[in-house]
Amino acid sequence: MTRAGVWGAQAIAAVFLTGALAVSHDAAPEKPPCVLIMVALESDIDSGQARADDAFRFVTVEAAQLADGTAVPANTPGFGLVAIAHHADRGGLGGYLVLETRFLALPDGRRVPVSIAWARADPATATGASLNVPGIVGAIPFSGYLLAPYGYLHHGKDVVIPRGRQIPVLLGDDVATGACAPPSPVPSPSPAPTAPATAAPSASAAPVPLATATAATR
C-alpha cells in the first residue's frame, strides 16, 4: 500500500472512531433530578440540653412523589437524630448543633430515607455566640490582668434551632446510590453595586460670553 493509501486509511479510521465516541456520549442517559422537599421541625432543639443521638420529629411541609410513583402526602411524619451537640463552655465556646434526618413514615407503614440537602442551605446547624470581650478593649493598659481570667472562665451562649424551622431534604435511596442528580448549590447573593456618586451642580453662575458682557456695559 502506498503512503497516500495508509494516510487515507488512518483518516477513515479516525472519522469512524470520532463518530462512535459521539454516539456513545449522546446515548448516555441523563439522571433524573432528586426529589427535594421542605420539612419542618416539631419541637425546639436546645444545645444546652440536647445530646448526640437524641431523637427529634419533623413533618413534610408539602406533598411529593418519589421516582417509583409513591405519593408522599403533606404533613407526613419523619424522624431524625441530633448528630452533634456541644454545650456552651468556658473560654467563650458557644453551643453547637448539627441535625441529621433519617426517614419518613408513610401512611401505609413504609419508610422512606431522608437526607438533608446540604447544597441548598445549612439550616440544620446552629452555633451560639462566644460573648467574648471586643478585642479593642485589650488596648487599655493593664486590661490583660482582667481579660485573661474572664476569657477563661466565662461561658459562650447556647443556641436553639426553633420549632417550625424548615429544612430542605432529599427523598429516597436514589440519593445515596447516585441514581439521581442532586440539586445545585444556591449561590450566595452578591452585594448590590454601589451607584457612582454624581457631581453636585455648581452653585456659581454660568460664565457670560465676552460679547454679551461688553454690550451690557455700553
Q: Catalogue all structural domains in the chain, each as residue range(s) with its CATH number.
A: 28-176 (2.40.128)
More confident residue, 29 or 114: 114
At residue 183, the pLDDT reads 83
Residue type, 42: E
CA angle 100, 103, 109 (to 5 degrees): 160
**C-beta neighbour count of 29 within 10 angstroms:** 5
More confident residue, 77 or 17: 77
According to DSSP, residue 140 is labeled S
Where residue 120 falls (left for φ over 0; alpha for ψ -120 to 50; beta otherwise) is alpha
Question: pTM of the entire structure?
Answer: 0.62
The values of phi and psi at residue 136, to 5°, are -65, -20
Encode pLDDT of 74-133 as tens digits.
Answer: 999 999 999 989 888 766 677 889 899 999 999 999 999 999 998 876 666 766 655 444
pLDDT band at 5, cuts 50/70/90? Answer: low
Instruction: Decide if 147 contacts 133 (C-beta within 8 A).
Output: yes
Residue type, 143: S
